[in-house]
Amino acid sequence: MAAAGESTQVRAVCRAVAAEFDSVTQHAVDKIRAEITSYHSIPYREQYDYIRTGLEMMLEAVASPDGIAQLDSGRSRDLGRRRAMQGISLSDVIETYHIALRELWHELLARSPEPDAELMVAVGRLWDVVHLETTAVAEGHSEATRSRQAERAGVRHRFFAALTAGDERSMTDARQLAQALGFDPDNEFRALCADSDWPEAAQERLQISLDELRGAAHCSRHDAGLMILCQRAATPTVVATVRSIRPGATVGVGLERPSLELAPSTMDDAMQALKASRAGAVTRFEDAWLTASLTPQRERLAPILERGWAVARENPHLVDAVRAYAGAGLSISAAARSVNLHANSVTYRLDRWHTLTGWDPRTASGLLASIAALDLAPAGPGPAGTPGG
């Protein structure tokens, strides 16, 4: 005689599924590995054993309400911890339960001559099992993730400190720490530097997002900005990740450098590009290397450049002509078209700029001095204040 809450028909269906449990489990595992590619890194037999045990618990809950009381939450928490340490995201772990539930439901339907209300009630207990199991898995996964993140944060801090120490012994330490963070010390590195205020919580959120990218990327506070050192990670993707946490952040991008020993150079590139960047812009050192390299020398060069700054503040129309001429390949006619002027007007303005500053923009040295003065002008109102300095 069936116990309370049990059904003779439901138990018969469950026995039919249990008789084919090896093939049921294999089919579920194959579906999971086909739909969730991160599980390719998990040994097949390990996953098979976990899924088989999980399906058995689900089936017992369908067969009898007492099956729910036999659930082992400790096992599920351990699974969550293990998958976190193996680098499997919590969403992927939980999705395996949904796929297993779906496949088991299909098997129950296939072996039920005519699904009735009793089977629907019994199958409802599947969701109770999944809820309880995934809750325990999430707890274990979160515990391991916090522990793992804390450990990696310590490694990350020591890595950046060793990398910027500037001595041979520290660089040896940095090479070992780099490998622990997923870097190849002999491969290329690129740094990005972001401005804005980065409290610990925002920095942690950014690092969690960086950990999900292809390649390796790690961030750390550096001087007045947040430094990101990456390898095999697409620069536009890293920038987009930064701006998902801090929309409108100004970002400097360093040159790609061929080894860890030159990583400090790409970090310097990124910092200089940031200082030479307009607010809210992304500036690559390779595109703005002259301005970026001269920006740290602004105060030293001020006695030379101040005359250009003063003229630019008082004559923005002359600035437009100089920039148009430089941007048009040194063509008067092309520059005139870009600013909707007659060629004679552009010529007059270039001559006027020459007269007022002493720099002839139609010569290499004069144009170089003119553009340097405009790009290095202190930040402020007016066309001369273009960089963020």
Q: Residues 278-321: pLDDT tens digits?
A: 889 999 999 989 888 888 888 899 999 999 999 999 999 999 99
Q: Which pLDDT score, from 0 to 100, does residue 381 have?
A: 46
The percentage of residues in the chain with a pLDDT greater than 70, rounded to a whole number, is: 93
**Which pTM does this prediction carry?**
0.57
Hey, how many other C-beta atoms are within 10 angstroms of the C-beta on 22? 10
Task: Note whether 273 and 252 are within 8 A (CB).
Answer: yes
Residues of the chain with CATH 3.30.70.100: 184-296
Residues of the chain with CATH 1.10.490.10: 9-147
Quick one: tokens of 68? 């729910």
Q: Which pLDDT score, from 0 to 100, does residue 380 have?
A: 54
Q: Which pLDDT score, from 0 to 100, does residue 1 have?
A: 35
- Local structure of residue 339 (DSSP, 8 states): T
Cα dist from 372 to 44, 237, 369, whole Å: 62, 31, 5
- Local structure of residue 217 (DSSP, 8 states): E
Q: Residues 194-203: what's their mean pLDDT?
A: 82
pLDDT of 387 above 70? no
Q: Which residues of 187-219 are buried (b: 16+ CB within 10 A; e: fewer)?
A: ebbbbbbbbbebeeeebeebbebbbebeebbbb
The reply to whether CATH 1.10.10.2840 applies to domain 298-376 is yes
Quick one: tokens of 344? 């004679």
Q: 9-147 sits in which CATH class?
A: mainly alpha
pLDDT of 327 above 70? yes
Q: Which pLDDT score, from 0 to 100, does residue 389 have?
A: 38
CATH number for the domain formed by residue range(s) 184-296: 3.30.70.100
Q: What is the largest CA-CA distance in the chain?
A: 108
Task: Give the closest residue to 85 by CA, choosing from 146, 159, 36, 44.
Answer: 146
Residues of the chain with CATH 1.10.10.2840: 298-376
pLDDT of 231 above 70? yes
pLDDT tier for residue 36 given thresholds of 50, 70 and 90? very high
Handedness of CA 147, 149, 154, 158 (dihedral sign): positive
Quick one: tokens of 249? 């952040």
Hey, how many other C-beta atoms are within 10 angstroms of the C-beta on 247? 9
pLDDT of 95 above 60? yes
Pairing of strands 282-284, 251-253: parallel
If phi > 0 it is left, if psi is from -120 to 50 it is alpha, else beta; for residue 366 that is alpha
Q: Which residue has the higher pLDDT, 145 or 104?
A: 104
pLDDT tier for residue 2 given thresholds of 50, 70 and 90? very low
Which of 56-60, 98-102, 121-125, 263-267 has the largest mean confidence? 263-267
What is the per-residue pLDDT across 268-280, written as a single tens digit (0 to 9) for each? 999 999 988 888 9
